[in-house]
Structure 1
């Protein structure tokens, strides 16, 4: 009986390990108008889609970090007595991204708010990976023959080829792409951090994806982090939608 219990407990570990790779991170520094660090400020990140939120307090250097955040659109709020509230909204956090958000607090009352909206295009400066992320808004707007999101990988420069079966909405083909000139069996398909490529059936996935349930498609082609092993050519990663409020 003890052995069975241990097997059940450890069986849950791989899923948790995979899931963290399809999450993102928001970190930054809180400073005043003279660029001096502000310790003890309360920082809250809120998922604008479902209302989930987390809070932390800046350290002596004014630094804060929120790891393992699910993919989504976030707001960051910074509060400290004697300063105006700082709010930055519409921050699009993608899988495996590390977003830097710095807050500048102005002297004033907490009833006063300084609100900043994120720019539509945010340059990734914290990692060197070569990737293309297609979010849910783009997925819905694009004319996609067959409505099979695997074909979106062809939008990334360096991805070529693809089979006619890709246009079938029920196809479980991995697309048969060539990434950076590599063979079509040298990349892997992932869904929510779990391997979806069938190891004993070349060119097939464990199931077809649906554009209505996919939140974003990420194509990694070079310089991605070590935890994205298993493939020499690249990765096609699907992140499915989460719940809403």
Structure 2
């Protein structure tokens, strides 16, 4: 009888550990490539639950990989974007319980665009004379208030 009292709790703890190890979650992982087969680092991966429209945004590692563990076992849409590439969408990825779905995405090259803004500024040198400054007439000199009426004060 004493042995049952000792063995029963030990068996219960062992069974509890096995039950706890079972998970009702799944995951998605994968790698992002370009058309040459090279990995794409720092790409944005958005995993969206199709039923609830909840999204999870990830960034690929330097080796082009991404991983989203602990997802509910439903269907997801994956959108991948990176600068210089066209966005890619995987419309339906099914996640099952206790498994990880592997999704590798290949991005197509996009169009490169450059935008330049030119702002006009007034010219520093007047176009009419081509010299900086202005001409002072004799009348302006006479009417100019100066302490000692010296031409050197105008410089």
* Unpaired stretches in structure 2, ≥5 consecutive residues: 1-15, 113-155
Q: Quick one: which of 22, 26, 32 aligns to 1:30?
A: 32
Quote the Cα distance in structure 2 between the aligned partners of 1:62 and 1:106.
15
Partner of 2:130: none
* Unpaired stretches in structure 1, ≥5 consecutive residues: 1-13, 111-245
Partner of 1:98: 100
Partner of 1:39: 41
| Between structures 1 and 2, the one with greater strand share | 1
C-alpha displacement of 1:18: 5.1
Q: Which has the larger Rg? A: 2
- Checking the alignment, whether the CA contact within 8 Å between 1:81 and 1:109 is kept in structure 2 is no
Partner of 1:53: 55
Partner of 2:136: none
Distance 1:51 1:62, change over 3 A: same
Root-mean-square deviation (CA, aligned residues, Å) is: 2.3
In the TM superposition, structure 1's runs of 4+ consecutive aligned residues that sit over 3 Å from their partners are 17-20
Cα deviation, 1:105-133, whole Å, max 9, x if unaligned, reads 110159xxxxxxxxxxxxxxxxxxxxxxx
- Checking the alignment, whether the CA contact within 8 Å between 1:41 and 1:58 is kept in structure 2 is yes
Alignment of 1:57-206 (within 5 A): 57-109=59-111
**How many residues are aligned here?**
95
Structure scoring higher RCO (CA < 8 A, sep ≥ 6) equals 2
3-state DSSP of counterpart to 2:23: helix
Quote the Cα distance in structure 2 between the aligned partners of 1:66 and 1:18.
21
- TM-score using structure 1 length: 0.36
Cα deviation, 1:10-50, whole Å, max 9, x if unaligned, reads xxxx9xx9598111110000010010011000001000000
- Checking the alignment, whether the CA contact within 8 Å between 2:75 and 2:94 is kept in structure 1 is yes
